[in-house]
Each structure stands twice: as structure tokens, then as C-alpha cells.
């Protein structure tokens, strides 16, 4: 079973890749730092989060930033709901009307 920090890595990676594509590099880095702070405050291992995304935060180009985010996403193993490799929005098993 994945722990809270591993799940957070996948969620952060997916969020950054989805939301920050049209942003300037500095704005995307700031968004990533805010997410890391929020997840750390929620009880995730701050050191692990910062280590995982350190290369992205040190990037000097947008391409390298998003490349490092994609690499971080790959470290997240499998979706805890359906077992699919990588992270995605998984609604399998949710019933309508709940």
C-alpha cells in the first residue's frame, strides 16, 4: 500500500503538469512550492517531497522543469485505486449518486 507521501508526489506531479503548462517558469515554480508547503503541512514527509522535486525547482528552462516533473511522476508507482502505472484521475469504482 502506498503511503501518504507517495500519493502526494503523484497528485502534485499530475496537478503541475495539468495546470501549469501555460505559465511562465517562475510562476510554475511558485505554484509547485505552494503545493509542497500545503502537503507538508498536511502531514506528508517534507524532506521526501522537497528531495523529489528539487531538480524541478532548480531548473532554468520550462522544458527541463516539466521534464523533471514527469520524472517525479514516474516515481509514484501505481494508482492506489485501480493499479494502473502512473497517476491519473481514476473514477473506477465510484457509484453515481453517492
pTM listed for this prediction:
0.74
Residue 64 has pLDDT above 60, yes or no: yes
Residues 6+ apart with CB under 8 A from 93: 81, 82
Residue 8 has pLDDT above 50, yes or no: yes
Kindly indicate the confidence band of residue 57, based on its pLDDT and cuts at 50, 70 and 90: very high
Report residue 49 as a C-alpha cell: 517531497
Domain ranges of the chain: 4-74
Residue 97 has pLDDT above 60, yes or no: no
Q: Which range scores top for mean pLDDT: 28-32, 45-49, 74-78, 94-98?
A: 28-32
Judged by DSSP in three states, 82 sits in: coil
Amino acid at each position: 500500500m502506498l503511503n501518504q507521501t507517495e500519493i502526494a508526489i503523484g497528485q502534485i506531479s499530475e496537478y503541475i503538469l495539468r495546470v501549469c503548462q501555460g505559465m511562465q517558469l517562475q510562476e510554475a515554480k511558485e505554484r509547485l512550492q505552494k503545493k509542497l508547503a500545503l502537503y507538508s503541512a498536511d502531514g506528508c514527509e517534507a524532506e521526501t517531497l522537497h528531495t523529489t522535486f528539487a531538480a524541478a525547482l532548480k531548473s532554468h528552462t520550462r522544458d527541463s522543469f516539466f521534464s523533471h516533473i514527469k520524472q517525479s511522476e514516474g516515481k509514484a508507482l501505481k494508482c492506489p485505486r485501480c493499479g494502473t502505472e502512473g497517476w491519473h484521475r481514476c473514477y473506477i469504482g465510484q457509484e453515481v449518486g453517492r
